[in-house]
Chain A
Amino acid sequence: MVIMGYGRCLSFIFHFKSSLKQISNCYRFFSATPEWEPVVGLEIHAQIQSSSKLFSGADTNFQTPTNRSVALFDAAFPGTLPVLNRRCVEAGTLTALALSCDLNQVSTFDRKHYFYSDLPAGYQITQHRFPLAQNGLLNFIVYKGGSDSRLYEKTSQIHQIQLEQDSGRSLHDEIRSLVDLNRAGLPLMELVFKPDLSDGEEAAALVKELILVLTRLGTCSCKMEEGALRVDANVSVHRRNSPLGTRTEIKNIGAIRAVANAVDYEIDRQIRVLQCGKEVVNETRSWDAERMRTVPMRDKEEKQDYRYMPEPNLPPLHLRLTNDQPMHSNMVDVTQLINKVPESPFQMRVRFQKDYGLSLLQAVRLVSEDMLLPLFFNAMNMKQDRDAVILTDLLLNDVLSYFNEDDSCNVVFKADDMGTITDMMKDGVISKSIARIILKELSQSPALSAKEVMEKNNLSLICDPAIIERLCRSVTQENANMLKKHLAGKKDSTKVLETKVWKKSEGRANMNLVKEWFKTNYPFSKK
């Protein structure tokens, strides 16, 4: 639950890189050993999307020049007092509701003391004793690749959600620190998860799901590269049927992949330490992405004493939880907010499978694509009995790549066209490859509709038996040798010949008719 300035941790990494050179590298993988059980819990700091800071009226712009977004309160000038931002309470509440937390009708603020130059007051205002919300849940889907790939559902419990301030940012060199307070006082919500996970892939999947939830709620941008979402991972390892082991905490992991890698590395490191008969030291570590390892961060000789005390300058924060509570201008009205919680990604996945017959994998992929969802919804709303599986495949396999390659966001697809293409594929009017050609045209000339593109380029499938006959004949003539072997019963060349017909027709031949033709005219019988 410790916050660390962003820059502070970077320099630690830098510092430890040099000391690492002396440590011999004997890193091996032990994850497969069944006797060890890893336990992983995450603490995630998410910056609340707001215009002004948590307790001051300074702006939250990420890119202002050094010390340009700093109110006197953020720099801890004497006589300044904290004034809580309503938006931050609302965002925290909304997030808590979306994660099925119990909201506390009254929550309080505390001071947590650290002496760092980027924390000018000498303490961080956080919620220690009575946080905003407790006891939530996050359901997510874990995908494990590799030879025994599998997809499974997992739940992690949320211990609590609390509002707190971010610290400043410091850049270090040998002899001094340069401190920028633009970050100081930015609103954070810290989500403390219970240690329910067992490896890096699950941890990464949890973070991914949380990002989906928060971005859909609009309570956090989740731009990890800007430090808007930072992950701390608590990792310990113990033998099956024995008490939990000593844990270490990996701080400030700033990318989803890094979460998976850091946790898995740390699990392996601890197993290795234990197998050598040594003990895991309770310490704070950081992830060095370049060298793919965790390194110790702070000296561990003393346990940190935060000397928590109630924040005397902030009376308790109240929420209006039920209708029989009187309205109050300084209470966030939860009875209203609850209507603003959108369908969760989890519910959406369940619905997609149930209502549209999508597979779990399709549902997982579709739900995580913000660009595709509106296309999917609109196309399905226009025509309820549309084939959602074909539509989803079209969106995920073909349309998505246009959005991914399109950095300038110029490409626009219309739900109408997606629906038309889906229907034509379903009815056998066009093939997958023609669908691709149509998409390409549409991406270049957004004024046209799918139907117009087809007519303009004469793209519908060739279903005229006479034309099919002609195509097949010419292919068999061009491949006389192959046909000879085929007829002699030595080698079944039907597939190859069919493909040649398909190519000759530029992907427009109705392949069902082509297959039919070969079956009738050149049936294969092995001799």
Chain B
Amino acid sequence: MSVCLLCRRLTRSKLDALLRAACKLSSQSSSARADSAPAASTPAVDEETVKHLERLSLVDFANKRGVARLEEAIRFANRLDEVDTTDVEPLVSVLEDEVLYLREDKVTEKNDVKVVLSTAVVTEEDFYVAPPGNIPLVVRDLSELK
């Protein structure tokens, strides 16, 4: 469904550009497989980046497997750079020509605090209890990564 809808919504010029880009990609694809990407595109994830990302995401991944997975993900995403997108207006949504629905300003939700708090691990007097702000993670020695 989505391909059909997508095609319908693309103007001819966009479609041409996309097709052009797709051809270019497929002609390169044999040499640009994710697992055999050229050395230049191999991401270098250094210790600082890992620390920074851990803080931003609050996800703990500073181990060999975690970093390998991150590098894999970057390599995967980097393939998008191989597509020539010159003159292609980015398509944000296939609904970009739709008019956003507007709802009347009425209160329609019941306030069921039990449901709202049902997924919280810790609560107190109907508050969610969370760790104290965006505190830095414990800074560990990441030298074992090297």
CB proximity of B5 to chain A, nearest CB, Å: 13
Is B80 located at the chain interface by the 8 A CB criterion?
no
- Can you list, as one digit per residue, whether each of A66-96 has a CB less than 8 Å from chain B (1) or not (0)? 1111111001010000011111110000000
B residues near A332, Cβ cutoff 8 Å: 102
> Number of B residues contacting the other chain (C-beta, 8 Å)?
38
Q: Which of the candidate stretches A17-25, A307-315, A389-397, A461-469 sits at the interface with the other chain?
A: A307-315
Contact A83-B115, Cβ < 8 Å, known A115-B134, A177-B131, A310-B93: no
- Please tell me if the beta carbons of B92 and A312 are within 8 angstroms of each other in the complex: yes
Contact B117 A115 (CB under 8 A): no
- The reply to whether the CB of B3 lies closer than 8 angstroms to some CB of chain A is no
The verdict on B58 contacting chain A, using a C-beta distance below 8 Å, is: yes
List the interface of chain B (C-beta within 8 A of A).
Answer: 52, 55-58, 92-93, 95-96, 98-109, 111, 113, 115-117, 119, 124-134
- Is A310 touching B92 in the complex (CB atoms < 8 A)? yes
Chain B residue at minimal CB-CB distance from A71 = B109
10 closest A-B pairs by beta carbon, nearest first, are A57-B108, A117-B130, A87-B105, A178-B127, A86-B102, A179-B128, A71-B109, A315-B95, A315-B98, A66-B126
Any B CB within 8 A of the CB of A175: yes
Are B92 and A83 touching (Cβ within 8 A)? Answer: no
CB distance from B133 to the nearest CB of A (A): 6
Given the known interface contacts A67-B113, A332-B102, the answer about A181 and B128 at a Cβ–Cβ threshold of 8 Å is yes
Taking CB atoms, residues of chain B closer than 8 Å to A316 are 96, 98-100
**Residue A460 interfacial (CB < 8 Å):** no
Q: How many A-B pairs fall under 8 Å by CB?
A: 133
- B99: chain A residues at CB < 8 Å are 315-316, 318, 328, 330-331
Q: Given the interface contacts A57-B103, A67-B126, A70-B111, does A305 sit within 8 Å of B56 by beta carbon?
A: yes
> In whole angstroms, how far apart are the Cα atoms of A302 and B56 in the complex?
10
- Further 8 A-B residue pairs, CB within 8 A, beyond A67-B117, A84-B103, A171-B127: A52-B108, A66-B113, A87-B105, A89-B102, A180-B128, A181-B128, A312-B92, A316-B96
Q: By the criterion of a CB under 8 Å from any partner CB, how many residues of chain A are at the interface?
A: 55
CB distance from A329 to the nearest CB of B (A): 8
A178 close to B129 (CB less than 8 A) = yes
Complexed CA–CA distance, A179 and B119 (Å): 14
A85 is contacted by which of B103, B111, B116 (Cβ under 8 Å)? B103
The answer, among A75, A89, A177, for a CB contact under 8 Å with B116, is A75
Could you tell me if B130 and A177 are in contact, using CB atoms closer than 8 angstroms? yes
Residues of B within 8 A of A173 (CB): 132
Cβ-defined contact, A70 with B103, below 8 A: no
Interface pairs (22), CB distance under 8 Å = A52-B106, A58-B111, A67-B128, A71-B109, A72-B109, A72-B115, A77-B119, A86-B102, A117-B130, A172-B133, A173-B132, A174-B132, A176-B129, A176-B132, A177-B130, A179-B127, A179-B129, A305-B56, A310-B93, A316-B99, A317-B100, A331-B99
Chain A residues within an 8 Å CB radius of B103: 57, 83-86
Q: B102 to A85, Cβ gap below 8 A?
A: yes
Q: Are A314 and B100 in contact (CB under 8 A)?
A: yes
Q: Among A50, A59, A84, which residue has its beta carbon within 8 angstroms of that of B100?
A: A84
Most buried by B among A173, A174, A310, A328: A310
What is the 8 Å Cβ interface bit string for chain A, positions 100-122, against chain B (1 contact, 0 not)? 00000000100000011100000
A108 touches which of B92, B107, B109, B129 (Cβ 8 Å) = B92
A51 near B105: Cβ-Cβ < 8 Å = yes
Asked if A65 is at the interface (CB within 8 A of a chain B CB), the reply is: yes
**With A67-B116, A302-B52: A83-B101 Cβ-Cβ less than 8 Å:** yes
Complexed CA–CA distance, A8 and B57 (Å)? 20
Residues from chain B with a CB closer than 8 A to the CB of A117 are 128, 130-131, 133
Contact (Cβ within 8 A) A181 B105: no
Query: Which residues of A are found within 8 Å of B105, using beta-carbon distances?
Result: 50-52, 85-88
For A108, list chain B residues within 8 Å (CB). 92
A476-B98 Cα distance, complex, nearest whole Å: 90
**Bound-complex Cα distance A71 to B100 (A):** 21
Known: A71-B109, A115-B134, A310-B92. A66 touches B125 (CB 8 A): yes
A64 within 8 Å of B by Cβ? Answer: yes
Question: How distant is the Cα of A316 from the Cα of B108 in the complex, in angstroms?
Answer: 24
When distances are taken between beta carbons in the complex, the residues of chain B under 8 Å from A310 are: 92-93
Give the complex CA separation of A224 and B17 in angstroms: 52
Which residues of chain B have C-beta atoms less than 8 A from A115's C-beta? 56-58, 134
Interface contact A318-B56, CB-CB below 8 Å:
no
- Please measure, in the bound complex, the distance between the C-alpha atom of A52 and the C-alpha atom of B50, giving whole angstroms: 41
In contact, A86 and B104 (Cβ under 8 angstroms): yes
**In the complex, are the beta carbons of B107 and A180 less than 8 A apart?**
no
Chain A, residues 314-337, CB within 8 Å of chain B (1/0): the string is 111110000000001011100000
Find chain B residues with CB under 8 A from A8 CB: 133
Residues of chain A lying within 8 A (CB to CB) of residue B106: 51-52, 57
